Amino acid sequence: MSDNDDLTLARRLLEAAKAAGADHADAMVATATSAAVGVAGGALEEAERSEGRDAGLRVIAGKGQACVSSSDLRDDNLVEMAERAVTMARAAPEDPYCGLAESTALSALRDADGLDLLDPTAPADPAALEAMALEAEAAALAIKGVVQVEQASAMWQRDRITLALSNGFEGGYARSTASLAVSALAGEGTGRERDYAVETRRHAADLPAPGDVGRRAGERTVARLGAQRPPAGNFPVVYDERVSGGLIGHLLGAMNGASVARGSSWAAEKLGEQLLPTTIDIVEEPHLKRGRGSRPFDAEGLPTMRRPLVSGGVLDRWVLDLATARQLDLESTGNARRGLSGPPSPGVSNVRMTLGEKDRAGLLAEIGTGLLVTSFLGAAINPTTGAYSRGASGFWVEGGEIAYPVNEITLAGSLPEMLGTLILGSDADDAKALSAPSMIVQGLTLGA
């Protein structure tokens, strides 16, 4: 199906909603084509190819709203969808904050031209994907100590989003995704360890070589052999670049307008206050070329733009869609996201941080004795108080050098206190939507 076909479908949904009695409506059409291959033991283990086209409709009738979605896109079903949605909206509890944007506020950008999100030469051929996966698997198995590769996989996907609103907005864009992943095992019996490497890009040409991905998975796995329990107590902790984005993600969650409006954010009263060290800025960059989170407009047709989130450690703004902005008596920040079967909600695009001057080795040297965390298992984060508790594994550090691997650790602390101590490294991965470097975190208690 072409872009025009999807826009025609979205328009038909709007017409059906209007005929059914909706006051306002927005329609989204999503199409996707994907191919994925997994190998194990040097042989093809699974191969999948899928194509799909689905549509979602949100209607507003009076003060109520409702959302429906379907993959049955026949004309009679579109009419039934619209009628069902209007009936549901009229029966729904009143929501004084739902509604579309004013037409004067809509984005001038209606496509992703210039963002280079679609790779026309992606390796959609299963044979090419299989060759990539086999090369990655062989590289992992070549690492001494690796006993098995659970699976090496390669994937390609192309999807297109088309949006039409009854306030006059119409837009859409396509994007591609290519990825490689390897999961390896080392050791035997109760001493067996597992680790992985995964890489994802918009353009396949930007992926690391399959052999590099496989070797990284194998080396990470072997490095975990012989894990011990570390001493308990209060120690500085280095969050490896692989996991540091999760910590910043907790901050972004506290800045999310939905949490703030519900009163369930520990940062709800901290707008304009110092949360991070003065050396740290955090910026949202929705228009990065080939960016994992790039988008020309948000899910409500509003413009996306570069905006500061934290400046000099000070919390600059909330992350808002129209509904949460109205609840807080503010303006939307163009951060609406939505799926086909639900209303918009706030969410960020690409996030970038100030970088420090030291790489991970430099951060380890700075802490002297402490913990390097490379993976987490489970989480207990209280979004209202910021109380933090997570299971973790990684490496014990002595004299600024890795001494031995550790696992079955519990880290406990307070997010507001932890974030105020951050010392950032220089090794952020720009291929990620949330790009955060390795960082030193103080104020944590280690329990074994």
3-class SS at 231?
Answer: coil
Q: Report pLDDT for 185.
A: 97
pLDDT in tens, 290-338: 999 999 999 999 999 999 999 999 999 999 999 999 999 999 999 999 9
CB atoms within 10 A of CB 149: 25
CA distances from 147 to 186, 192, 196, 407 (A): 5, 9, 14, 20
Q: Report pLDDT for 3.
A: 62
Bridge partner residues of 310 (DSSP): 282, 315
Q: Report pLDDT for 2.
A: 55
Q: Report pLDDT for 107.
A: 98
Rg (CA), the chain: 24
Residue 177: partners with Cβ closer than 8 Å, 6 or more residues away = 155, 156, 157, 158, 159, 200, 201, 202
* Distance separating alpha carbons of residues 85 and 67, to the nearest angstrom: 6
Digit-by-digit pLDDT tens for the chain (448 residues) are 456 799 999 999 999 999 999 999 999 999 999 999 999 999 999 999 999 999 999 999 999 999 999 999 999 999 999 999 999 999 999 999 999 999 999 999 999 999 999 998 877 789 999 999 999 999 999 999 999 999 999 999 999 999 999 999 999 999 999 999 999 999 998 889 999 999 999 999 999 999 999 999 999 999 999 999 999 999 999 999 999 999 999 999 999 999 999 999 999 999 999 999 999 999 999 999 999 999 999 999 999 999 999 999 999 999 999 999 999 999 999 999 999 999 999 999 999 999 999 999 999 999 999 999 999 988 889 999 999 999 999 999 999 999 999 998 999 999 999 999 999 999 999 999 999 999 999 989 998 6
CA distances from 181 to 75, 84, 292 (A): 41, 42, 17
pLDDT in tens, 8-65: 999 999 999 999 999 999 999 999 999 999 999 999 999 999 999 999 999 999 999 9
* Distance separating alpha carbons of residues 176 and 32, to the nearest angstrom: 9
DSSP string covering 422-433 = -EE-S---TTSS
* Distance separating alpha carbons of residues 362 and 404, to the nearest angstrom: 18
CA distances from 426 to 1, 84, 111, 396, 432 (A): 44, 53, 34, 21, 15
Q: Is-contact 343 68, C-beta < 8 A?
A: no
Q: Report pLDDT for 124.
A: 73
* Distance separating alpha carbons of residues 142 and 150, to the nearest angstrom: 14
- In this structure, what is the dihedral angle of CA atoms 88, 59, 292, 247, given to the nearest 10 degrees? -50
What is the phi/psi pair of residue 178, to 5°? -125, 140
